[in-house]
Amino acid sequence: MIEPFRVLSLDGGGMRGTYTATYLDRVAATFARQRDISRIDIGGAFNLIVGTSTGGIIASALAADIPLSKVVKLYREHGKAIFERKLPTDLVSATLDLKERGRSLARGEKALRKALEDVLGEQTLGGLYKDRKIAMAITAVELSQHRSWVFKTPHLKNTNHRDDGYSLVDVCLATSAAPVYRALAAIDHPDGGGGYNVFADGGLWANNPVLVGLIDALEMTEPGRPIHVFCLGTCPRPAGEQVARTALNRGLPQWKFGGDAASLSIDAQEFAFDNMARMLAKHTGRECKIVRFPSEPTPAALNDHLDIDDTTEASALALINQARTDADMTNSKCGRPDDAEGQLICNLFHNAPAGAQAPAAQEG
């Protein structure tokens, strides 16, 4: 039997990345106990990892075999400095925001860079691929031409090695530079020639990067090799809303000054791109499965904790608890022989390599 080519696709969603990292960590921990090993190298289970925004940060950690607990810690300890000011909710706070947001964004960029450096170090895309042989594709938007940009390891046959020298830190800053929420990212050319590019968040065009992953997988594999793409979101809001005819004329306050428009885009892209990928998969001439990691319907009580710039401890705990609930449900599905997607997830984690044991804490 030919081993399937496995892809992990991670959606964007700001601080809701706490959910994504916790979910994967908990599912993997359950399988590690079953296999009697200390931890699973989640990234090593995949041939290709694609990510957008917060998903790009998690993708980078996974590709480098950095424990996801460190990513959760990054969000919880540094979130308030990264998203120093929430989007305004009324005209009074919006007036104050006009004066302060620019300075706040500058401080947030410095805070995120420092936090990423502490977790990811100086690793580059090219160096990571050489060490780990895990392909990566991280989405962004390049501002000088207003075009999509995908940071890639040199995994394609026709690669020009354009991105080899970019650090994971710079890639993460670029993919997560959400307009209004965060500063744009000025990233120096890695060849040292003195030039730079300015990037915005990849979620503007591929918050769900599943098609990026599927297309690269088709490019990387020989005809006939099965492709399994596993997708994970960031705990979307409870689906839909009933809008009265008297509430159609929404202005800035009603859209929470752009915040609700961003959330709407995240939800719509998750649904649309998953469906497009599944339709395309039928015409690849091979076994091609698109699997979104299962989750329970998001409870209405969680709705107050799902803003992508919500850095409160209450919201972090709500996301963590929901991730644990969904991970436990996923592990239950893996135990059902008649659950096809559950069995794919089960095989994924059963065959994943063991991760390096975390160093023991030194006594002070």
User: Nearest CA to 84 among 362, 311, 327?
Assistant: 311
φ, ψ dihedrals at 232, nearest 5° = -140, 130
46 three-state secondary structure: coil
Q: What is the DSSP string of 101-120?
A: HHHHHHHHHHHHHHHHHHHH
Q: What counts of helices (H) and strands (E) characterise the chain?
A: 11, 8
Rounded (5°) CA angle 140-146-152: 30
Rounded (5°) CA angle 142-264-211: 55
351 three-state secondary structure: coil
Residues belonging to the active site = 53, 201
86 three-state secondary structure: coil
